[in-house]
Amino acid sequence: MGPIPLCVLPLFSLAVLSAVAAVDDDYTWPQWNVPLVRNRRTTLLSSPNFSAQPQPELSGTCGIECQRRLPVPSLDDVEQFLSYETVYENGTRTYTSVSVQGLNEVTPWSSNATSHSRRKREVYGTDTRFTISDKQYSTKYPFSTSVKISTGCSGVLVSPKHVLTAAHCIHDGKDYLDGVQKLRVGILKEKSKRGKGGKGRGGGGGRGKGKKRKGDKPEEEAQADSTGKTERKGKGKGRKSRSRRSIESEKPSFKWTRVKKTQVPKGWFKGVSKGLAADFDYALLELKKASKIKHMDLGVIPSVKKLPAGRIHFSGFDDDRPGNLVYRFCSVTQESSDLLYQYCDAKPGSSGSGVYIRLKEPGKKKWTRKIIGVFSGHQWVDVNGNGAQQDYNVAVRITPLKYAQICEWVHGDSSECRVA
């Protein structure tokens, strides 16, 4: 299907968004006792070929309806799916088997979502994405947690030196992508306008008055569409417009950092998960140098659809808007314990983005954003197990098991990962 022309972005009512936020006031982040995922044994493998090529779309995966026909995985199956490969910067590769403890402590989550037909979607009709091109927003939380992967995907900072992304951004299920041996992560940084003339204002050149923005309003993300454009009107002391050079200096650039190692669950590998590969489309990248950017924590939520607003948010670097961060939000249409079906407008390049929601901390008035999934992108799936392919936009959700595994990858100590 050919490219769909982009339409004028809609204007959102802040009053409506504020009303929705008020409805969310009674909802807080649930507390989960998660299982322990412990490393059992690590063995050295031969170096990978790094021969795979990026795929614009994935196919042949088993969707929500298809998975209903599959048997519940045994403990042995779960341990095999969560065992993982690690590739280091020097090209060496290891395989680590894991043991899972406390699996029966996690209450199974079920969905009563119903099936309905879908049509190919990346962008339907009016394009509801927001281009965050002004450094005032793109280099500030939560947008600053979004990063660019050198293989063409996006990712999200989940610690000062760890990036969560989609597994298919570095591995096609059979081999690692060409370029993973020199994998890099780009973090947005502010450009200094005049070097010495910034007076300590973070490279902003002293144009603003250092006003702080409230960081816990859900409408903040939507507001960035109307105020976060590169070209802004203002009282420019007689200047009606900026020069092109001045505008370009306002655009953020990337600070690229080499990746020290990558970790991918074996459940993503073809021939291992028996059609469940989509559930394990996530990977963790460890940076050689820690970032000073505020990261976003992981979270586990039993059902997004049951939340009053039912919205998910994510930002990434869509291919059709090069050099710009693109933000969007939408409602979840269907969900299972491992997948979120949604109609968020997206283009290639946004895969691997961190999907987040915002809830209050228990017993506190503070709002907190947490990553509850990884955007996997546009996929073709065998919905009913009969070979018929349908398409959808999907996010892989963070389950208690995945939380335990990713947390252990980040901290290296599973004892720090008992509560989500």
Would you say residue 3 lies in a domain? no
| C-beta neighbour count of 317 within 10 angstroms | 26
Number of domains the chain contains: 1
Query: Whole domain around residue 152: which residue ranges?
Result: 14-107+128-192+215-231+240-417
Would you say residue 273 lies in a domain? yes
Would you say residue 350 lies in a domain? yes
126-171 per-position pLDDT tens digit: 678 888 877 778 889 999 999 999 999 999 999 999 999 999 999 9
The residues, any chain, with a CB within 8 Å of residue 415's CB and separated by 6 or more, are: 36
Amino acid at 360: K
| C-beta neighbour count of 275 within 10 angstroms | 18
Domain CATH number, residue 310? 2.40.10.120
Rounded CA-CA distance 116/359 in Å is 29
| DSSP assignment string, 378-392 | EEEEESSSSS-EEEE
Rounded CA-CA distance 297/267 in Å is 23
Rounded CA-CA distance 146/188 in Å is 8
Candidates 340, 365, 368; CA nearest to 353 is 340
Would you say residue 200 lies in a domain? no
List the chain pLDDT tens, one digit each, 420 residues: 333 333 333 333 333 334 344 444 568 898 888 899 999 999 999 999 999 998 877 777 788 888 878 888 899 999 999 999 999 999 999 999 999 998 875 543 333 333 333 334 455 456 788 888 777 788 899 999 999 999 999 999 999 999 999 999 999 999 999 999 999 999 998 765 544 444 443 333 333 333 333 343 434 555 444 333 333 333 444 444 444 444 444 566 899 999 999 999 999 998 887 767 789 999 999 999 999 999 999 999 989 988 877 889 999 999 999 889 999 999 998 888 899 988 899 999 999 999 999 998 887 878 899 999 999 998 887 777 777 787 788 999 999 999 999 999 999 988 788 887
DSSP 91: S
| DSSP assignment string, 339-408 | EEEE-----TT-TTPEEEEEEEPTTSS-EEEEEEEEEEEEEEEESSSSS-EEEEEEEEE--HHHHHHHHH
Candidates 126, 155, 325; CA nearest to 224 is 325
Would you say residue 117 lies in a domain? no
Instruction: Check if the beta carbon of residue 148 is closer than 8 Å to that of residue 285.
Output: no
Rounded CA-CA distance 305/112 in Å is 11
Rounded CA-CA distance 409/165 in Å is 13
The model carries a pTM of 0.79
Instruction: Check if the beta carbon of residue 154 is closer than 8 Å to that of residue 146.
Output: yes
SS3 177: strand
What pLDDT score does 5 carry? 33
Instruction: Check if the beta carbon of residue 52 is closer than 8 Å to that of residue 174.
Output: yes
Rounded CA-CA distance 413/417 in Å is 8
SS3 75: helix
Instruction: Check if the beta carbon of residue 158 is closer than 8 Å to that of residue 374.
Output: no
Candidates 270, 279, 272; CA nearest to 67 is 279
Would you say residue 118 lies in a domain? no
SS3 59: strand
Q: Helix 400-411 vs helix 75-82: angle between axes, to the nearest 10 degrees?
A: 40
Rounded CA-CA distance 13/352 in Å is 29
What pLDDT score does 177 carry? 97
What pLDDT score does 85 carry? 98
Q: For residue 188, what are the β-bridge partners?
A: 254
What pLDDT score does 219 carry? 42
84-116 per-position pLDDT tens digit: 999 999 999 999 999 999 887 554 333 333 333
What pLDDT score does 122 carry? 55
| DSSP assignment string, 82-114 | H-EEEEETTS-EEEEEEEEE-GGGSPP----PP
Rounded CA-CA distance 62/387 in Å is 10
Would you say residue 158 lies in a domain? yes
Positive/negative CA dihedral, 114, 118, 122, 127: negative
Q: For residue 186, what are the β-bridge partners?
A: 148, 256
Would you say residue 220 lies in a domain? yes
Positive/negative CA dihedral, 60, 61, 66, 69: positive
Rounded CA-CA distance 311/288 in Å is 34
